[in-house]
């Protein structure tokens, strides 16, 4: 089976490609090599993989990329919540129009299945419970509470809510342009699958980490941001109070999930969370990375400010991935951070976090 991987030269795409090759697939990659994500103009190539370089919005190139393929894993996207709030046309164009061009050129082709990379960001705030055990699926923080450093969502009576694992039944609540674009991507793909004889699956990825992240991209994953700061003897920049909780899933687990989503019949037409099923505070993550890099003396800088579009808590309920895909995470953050740190030591990292903070503050996107 030949599979097209859009964005296949990116962080996740490289691991997905390796997973496919190890399991007997032929792979073709389409990638635009966006400079912010790819430090090198021409990435190292893998034997047996066919490469096409260019924009997924180019219909002629997409038609060429789709010739003779049986399945598509669509990972190509601009990624970054904060940046999406001011480079709006860039994110909507690459993510939503790019997906539209891809799908339009799949019509009348014998492609069996497409799997699209969506994001946990579509949920906005994760699920919560009230003190009496009622489920709250549309918790939101007000600007006034955030400016008063009251970080946690409360119910209508002002009582504290308890975060719980977020499942796929939670309604989406889009809090950023990035989230909007990722939701549009997944809906485009699933609607296409309903209209044409193509099986379609959307994977909502939580915070992906592992060796190979773009360490000099300040809008990439939080582990890479912290590692870049620490590698340059700078304190990790932690927004709010650092107690916000996230789910961190290893990139090798994510790659396996994409292959399973390509293979499992029961996944057709489904939206599926891909995470670790564990919750970690951002402060805890900063401390884990510092310890692994032997930089424990460099304490996180707690900013006491929130970025526009950020949420307080969201971590995955992965029961559906277990049931439909047989997916089980194999790499826990606390067991994998040493390997990640060793990779960071051998990789040059330019610290651009201060530049990112300045760009957001100049536009009034930090409060």
Q: CATH code at 264? A: 3.40.50.720
DSSP secondary structure letters along 296-350: TTS--EE----BTT--SEE-B--HHHHHHH-------HHHHHHHHHHHHHTS---
State how far the Cα of 153 lies from the Cα of 160, in Å rounded to an integer. Answer: 7
Partnered with residue 110 across adjacent β-strands are none
Confidence of residue 228 (pLDDT cuts 50, 70, 90): confident
| pLDDT at position 353 over 70 | no
Mean pLDDT confidence for 266-277: 97
70 in any annotated domain = yes
Q: Are 242 and 286 in contact (CB under 8 A)?
A: yes
Q: Between 356 and 131, where is the model more confident? A: 131
269: pLDDT strictly greater than 60: yes
Could you list the residue range(s) of the whole structural domain that residue 104 is in? 2-127+165-360
d(CA 172, CA 184) in angstroms, rounded, equals 11
Higher local confidence (pLDDT), 176 or 17: 17
Token look-up 């870049």 returns: 228
For residue 138, tell me if it sits in a domain.
no
DSSP per position, 183-230: HHHHHHHHHHHHHSS-EEEEEEE-EEE-TT--TT-TTS-HHHHHHHHH
Mean pLDDT for the stretch of residues 187-216: 94
In a domain, 123, yes or no: yes
340 within a domain of the structure (yes/no) = yes
Q: What is the pLDDT of residue 67?
A: 97
pLDDT in tens, 52-66: 999 999 999 999 999
Confidence label for 367 from pLDDT (cuts 50, 70 and 90) = low
Confidence tier at 262 by pLDDT (50, 70, 90): very high
For the cut 60, the answer to whether the pLDDT of residue 129 exceeds it is yes
pLDDT at 263 over 70: yes
Residue 355 counted as domain residue = yes
Please, which residues bridge with residue 271 across strands? 202
Q: Rounded to whole angstroms, how far apart are CA atoms 282 and 287? A: 9
Query: Per mean pLDDT, which range of 101-115, 176-190, 306-320 is the poorest?
Result: 306-320
CB burial of residue 53 (10 Å; 0-12, 13-18, 19+): middle
In a domain, 132, yes or no: no
Residue 307 lies in a domain: yes
Average pLDDT of 21-32?
97
Number of residues that this document lists for the chain: 367
Position 189 in a domain = yes
Closest CA to 121 of 180, 55, 168, 170: 180
Give the pLDDT confidence score for residue 3 in this predicted structure: 98
Under 8 Å CB-to-CB from 139, ≥6 apart: which residues? Answer: 125, 128, 153, 161
> Mean pLDDT over all residues of the chain?
91
Task: Count the domains in the chain.
Answer: 1
Q: Are 190 and 155 within 8 A, CB to CB?
A: no
pLDDT exceeding 70 applies to what percent of the chain? Answer: 91
Each residue's pLDDT tens digit, 84-118: 888 999 999 999 999 999 999 999 999 999 999 99
- Of 31, 263, 77, 255, which Cα lies nearest the Cα of 179? 77
């Amino acid at each position: 089976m030949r599979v097209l991987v859009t964005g296949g030269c990116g962080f996740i795409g490289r691991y997905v490609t390796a997973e496919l090759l190890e399991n007997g697939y032929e792979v073709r990659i389409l990638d635009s090599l966006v400079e912010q994500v790819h430090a090198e103009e021409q990435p190292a190539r893998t034997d047996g993989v066919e490469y096409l370089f260019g924009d997924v919005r180019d219909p002629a190139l997409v038609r060429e990329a789709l010739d003779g393929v049986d399945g598509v894993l669509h990972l190509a996207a601009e990624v970054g919540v904060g940046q999406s709030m001011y480079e709006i046309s860039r994110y909507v164009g690459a993510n939503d129009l790019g997906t539209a061009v891809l799908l339009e050129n799949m019509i009348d082709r014998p492609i069996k299945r497409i799997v699209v990379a969506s994001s946990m960001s579509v949920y906005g705030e994760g699920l919560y419970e009230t003190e009496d055990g009622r489920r709250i699926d549309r918790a939101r923080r007000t600007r006034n509470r955030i400016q008063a450093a009251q970080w946690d969502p409360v119910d209508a009576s002002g009582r504290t809510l308890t975060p719980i694992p977020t499942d796929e039944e939670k309604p989406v609540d889009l809090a950023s342009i990035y989230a909007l674009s990722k939701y549009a991507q997944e809906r485009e793909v699933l609607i296409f699958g309903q209209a044409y004889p193509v099986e379609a699956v959307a994977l909502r990825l939580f915070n992906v980490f592992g060796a190979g992240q773009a360490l000099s991209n300040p809008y990439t994953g939080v582990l890479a941001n912290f590692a870049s700061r620490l590698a340059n003897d700078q304190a990790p920049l932690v927004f709010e109070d650092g107690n916000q909780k996230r789910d961190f899933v290893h990139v090798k687990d994510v790659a396996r999930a994409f292959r399973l989503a390509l293979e499992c019949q029961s996944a057709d037409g489904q939206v599926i969370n891909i995470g670790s099923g564990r919750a970690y505070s951002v402060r805890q993550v900063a401390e884990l990375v510092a310890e692994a890099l032997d930089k424990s003396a460099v304490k996180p800088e707690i900013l006491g400010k929130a970025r526009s579009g950020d949420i307080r808590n969201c971590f995955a309920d992965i029961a559906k991935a277990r049931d439909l895909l047989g997916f089980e995470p194999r790499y826990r953050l606390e067991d994998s951070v040493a390997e990640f740190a060793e990779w960071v030591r051998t990789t040059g990292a330019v610290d651009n976090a201060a530049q990112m903070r300045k760009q957001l503050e100049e536009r009034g996107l930090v409060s």
